[in-house]
């Protein structure tokens, strides 16, 4: 099963849910910031700090990223600050003016808020990153709660995360819609039994549209309103 979510189905998903769980980076905010930060700004700073050949520093860093992908460490600013010996908080603050909404995301949130459904932001981002991004984008005003998976001790792609989130929020999986841009995360939500699981096909506005298999998908969150 896959593919683009037809307008009618999207409208039905929307009608049938009372809780909407939304990811932050790559779903509401443009992943081009994070891709630039981790793939360009951090390697550049590290090469400068270490004084080694930029290409070699970069390759070793990317190998380290690959080893940690999908773990809480991967999303943890403290972990990378410690491992790399860089002041990543300062670097993130200094580049926070680059943080942007994805096209149509802000308008979607305004409409979603007017619908009266319960809106909860659920992110793997570290609590401090979440605060920086809320501060810049004003994202917090649309949500009843903004939660970081770090507070639950496991990332969204793990099976343990979902019952803990349900304990905290008390949502009914049959009446819940969950939107994210990460396939392993969507798989975990589906295995837990969330009724409406939807992928975002363009998490980075500067990258090409992705193909998504095994999940319903929209190009951006605006497609959820069945437009
Ligand atoms: Mg994401």
Question: Which residue numbers are catalytic?
Answer: 16
pLDDT of res. 51? 87
DSSP-based three-state secondary structure for 4: strand
Distance 25 CA to ligand 1 centre (A): 4
pLDDT of res. 183? 95
Q: Are 64 and 71 in contact (CB under 8 A)?
A: no
Q: Which strands make up the sheet holding 118-123, listed edge to edge?
A: 145-148, 118-123, 19-22, 176-180, 196-200, 216-218
Helices 77-84 and 42-50: crossing angle, nearest 10°?
Answer: 30
pLDDT of res. 142? 97
How far is Cα 137 from Cα 148, in angstroms, rounded to an integer?
17
Distance 53 CA to ligand 1 centre (A): 31
Q: What ranges do the domains of the chain cover?
A: 7-30+101-225, 33-97
CA distances from 116 to 14, 168, 217 (A): 12, 20, 23
| 26 burial type by CB count under 10 A (0-12 exposed, 13-18 middle, 19+ buried) | buried
pLDDT of res. 34? 93
pLDDT of res. 5? 65
Taking the chain (227 residues) in runs of 10, the rounded mean pLDDT of each run is: 63 90 98 94 94 90 93 89 94 93 96 95 93 92 96 96 98 97 97 95 95 90 80
pTM recorded for the entire structure: 0.91
Distance 27 CA to ligand 1 centre (A): 6
pLDDT of res. 7? 64
pLDDT of res. 44? 94
Distance 139 CA to ligand 1 centre (A): 15
Distance 50 CA to ligand 1 centre (A): 30
Find tokens 């779903």 and name the residue: 27
What architecture is the 7-30+101-225 domain classified under in CATH?
Answer: 3-Layer(aba) Sandwich (3.40)
């Amino acid at each position: 099963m896959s593919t683009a979510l037809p307008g009618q189905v999207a409208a039905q998903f929307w009608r049938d849910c009372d809780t909407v769980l939304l990811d932050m980076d790559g779903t509401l905010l443009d992943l081009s910031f994070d891709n630039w930060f981790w793939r360009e700004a951090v390697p550049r700073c590290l090469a400068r700090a270490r004084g080694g050949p930029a290409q070699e520093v970069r390759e070793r860093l990317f190998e380290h990223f690959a080893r940690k992908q999908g773990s809480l460490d991967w999303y943890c600013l403290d972990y990378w600050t410690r491992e790399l010996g860089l002041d990543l908080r300062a670097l993130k603050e200094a580049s926070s003016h680059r943080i942007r909404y994805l096209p149509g995301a802000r308008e979607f949130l305004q409409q979603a808020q007017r619908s009266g459904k319960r809106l909860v932001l659920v992110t793997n981002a570290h609590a401090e990153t979440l605060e920086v991004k809320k501060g810049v984008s004003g994202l917090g005003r649309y949500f009843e709660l903004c939660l970081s998976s770090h507070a639950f001790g496991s990332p969204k792609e793990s099976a343990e995360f979902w019952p803990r989130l349900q304990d905290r929020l008390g949502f009914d999986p049959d009446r819940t819609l969950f939107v994210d841009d990460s396939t392993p995360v969507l798989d975990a939500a589906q295995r837990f039994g969330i009724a409406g699981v939807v992928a975002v096909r363009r998490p980075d506005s500067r990258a090409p549209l992705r193909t998504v298999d095994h999940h319903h998908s929209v190009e951006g969150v605006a497609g959820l309103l069945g437009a």
